[in-house]
Each structure stands twice: as structure tokens, then as C-alpha cells.
């Protein structure tokens, strides 16, 4: 009887553990961060975000694009940025400017589009996201 009871309890724990694992896999979200030095890469990055959102379905989480480097001033060209910003907003993607690059290359953050975020250090922000489990790519 004792062996039967022990077997029943072990089986119950196995079933509960399996159900919890299955549930956590269903609710797990995929978060992404891409760091780029070229504003021209925003279009293909946003196309990738669109495909990932479609493939991931309700598991698609956050998607961030960090722009840093010497071409950061290209972010101030609103006519070039407008289509990217509209697509990003539609997809729920955040386009982020590296504050360190803005300072280094003397770009006025006030000239950036209003809905663009700025972080102090884009590389550090990318590492922080990786520690949070984001899938990361640098271009």
C-alpha cells in the first residue's frame, strides 16, 4: 500500500510539473534587440520584426532597435525617418538612439523625432537586454 501511495504521489508531481512546463512554454514571449550603425538598415530590420511577429503570434514580445555610431545624425532627417517610425509604431517596435553617440558626434537630441527614445549608452542597453533574455543581433 505504501509503495502504491508513493507511486501515485510521484506520478501526480510528474503530471503537475509537465503541465506547468507546458503552460510556461505557451506563455513565454520572445523579445528581440538589434543594434545597428546604419539608419538604412531600419527597413530590413523592421521587415524581420514583421515576419517574427507573424511567426511568433501571441508569443511575440518586445522588439527594440538601437542606433549608434557616426551616422546617428541621420536619425534627425524626419522625411527619411517618417516611414520607418510609422512602421515601427504599427509593429510595436521601439527605435532607440544611443546618447553616447549623440554626444560624441555632436547631434542635438532635440532634433530627433518626438517618439524616439534615447538611452545613455546603446552598448550597455544592449547588454542589459541580453541579461534579461532578449535575443540580440548587432549589424
Segment 48-101, tens digit of pLDDT: 999 999 999 999 999 999 999 999 999 999 999 999 999 999 999 999 999 999
Domains detected in the chain = 29-138 (3.40.1260.10)
Residue in 122, 128, 4, 127 with CA at minimum distance from that of residue 65:
122
pLDDT tens for residues 104-134? 999 999 999 988 999 999 999 999 999 999 9
Position 26 scores a pLDDT of 56
If you average pLDDT over every residue of the chain, what do you get?
A: 86
pLDDT(3) > 80:
no
Higher-scoring residue by pLDDT: 99, 19: 99
Tell me the mean pLDDT in the region 13-38.
70
Burial letters for 92-106: b for 16+ Cβ neighbours within 10 Å, e otherwise?
Answer: ebbbbbbbbbbeeee
Is pTM beyond 0.85? Reply is no
Higher-scoring residue by pLDDT: 94, 17: 94
Q: What is the DSSP-derived secondary structure letter of residue 40?
A: G
Amino acid at each position: 500500500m505504501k509503495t502504491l501511495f508513493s507511486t501515485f504521489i510521484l506520478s501526480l508531481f510528474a503530471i503537475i510539473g509537465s503541465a506547468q512546463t507546458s503552460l510556461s512554454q505557451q506563455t513565454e514571449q520572445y523579445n528581440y534587440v538589434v543594434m545597428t550603425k546604419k539608419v538604412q538598415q531600419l527597413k530590413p530590420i523592421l521587415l524581420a520584426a514583421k515576419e517574427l511577429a507573424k511567426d511568433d503570434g501571441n508569443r511575440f514580445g518586445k522588439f527594440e532597435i538601437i542606433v549608434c555610431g557616426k551616422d546617428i545624425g541621420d536619425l534627425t532627417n524626419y522625411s527619411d525617418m517618417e516611414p520607418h517610425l510609422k512602421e515601427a509604431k504599427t509593429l510595436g517596435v521601439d527605435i532607440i538612439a544611443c546618447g553616447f553617440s549623440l554626444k560624441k558626434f555632436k547631434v542635438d537630441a532635440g532634433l530627433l523625432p518626438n517618439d524616439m527614445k534615447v538611452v545613455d549608452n546603446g552598448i550597455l542597453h544592449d547588454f542589459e537586454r541580453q541579461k534579461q533574455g532578449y535575443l540580440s543581433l548587432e549589424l
